[in-house]
A and B are shown apart, each in its own frame.
Chain A
Amino acid sequence: SQTIHQWPATLVQPVGSPLSLECTVEGTSNPNLYWYRQAAGRGLQLLFYSVGIGQISSEVPQNLSASRPQDRQFILSSKKLLLSDSGFYLCAWSVGQGVQPQHFGDGTRLSIL
């Protein structure tokens, strides 16, 4: 069966520090991968999605970036975190186009101090 892993579960970082969040998927090949951010009481904001290795689409201009070095690995990064980067970050995967549902990891709670 397919599984998705995100780590770390929680992270506290100072303003201006770098960030690296990792997500890996097991049990499927060539998944579509997604990074979302969810503010408290708000909907999911799509940050990046990838349909293949090295293929990254950015949805929102910001100081975050994403990379997909391997088929089932998706990394969210920042060189310098801002206070506004605080939030709940979720990774998800799906297969194919169209109607397929997305499957989410358990997220990383990021607090910027």
Chain B
Amino acid sequence: SQKIEQNSEALNIQEGKTATLTCNYTNYSPAYLQWYRQDPGRGPVFLLLIRENEKEKRKERLKVTFDTTLKQSLFHITASQPADSATYLCALRDSSYKLIFGSGTRLLVRP
């Protein structure tokens, strides 16, 4: 079955720098991949979706890339702010209705 790997170690960066988070998957390439943000004690919030035929997707300061050869997606936050501190989850479709979520990477942006 599909497995998702996200760096379990927190990413600690200085405000203003670009944060880059990695999502690797192990089996078949999914038709699309999603990224979510989760704040402590809250439910995840959908951020971006990228399809397998899209190499890159942008939304304001967010950018997602999708490399089906490497079986990897990168999530970038440019000009990071302390308010960007949260856990970021990637998710892949497992069937028509189901998503598989990674365990997430915690991002800490220092002022």
Cβ < 8 Å to B, chain A residues 78-105: 90, 92, 94, 97-99, 101-105
Asked if residues A107 and B31 are in contact (CB atoms below 8 Å), the reply is no
Asked if residues A106 and B43 are in contact (CB atoms below 8 Å), the reply is yes
Cβ < 8 Å to A, chain B residues 8-60: 8, 31-32, 34, 41-46, 49, 51
Asked if residues B44 and A44 are in contact (CB atoms below 8 Å), the reply is yes
Q: Is A49 an interface residue (CB 8 A)?
A: yes
Nearest B residue to A105, CB-CB: B43
Nearest A residue to B94, CB-CB: A46
Nearest A residue to B42, CB-CB: A106
Q: A43-B89, A43-B103, A109-B41 are in contact. Are A97 and B46 (CB under 8 A)?
A: no
Asked if residues A101 and B49 are in contact (CB atoms below 8 Å), the reply is yes
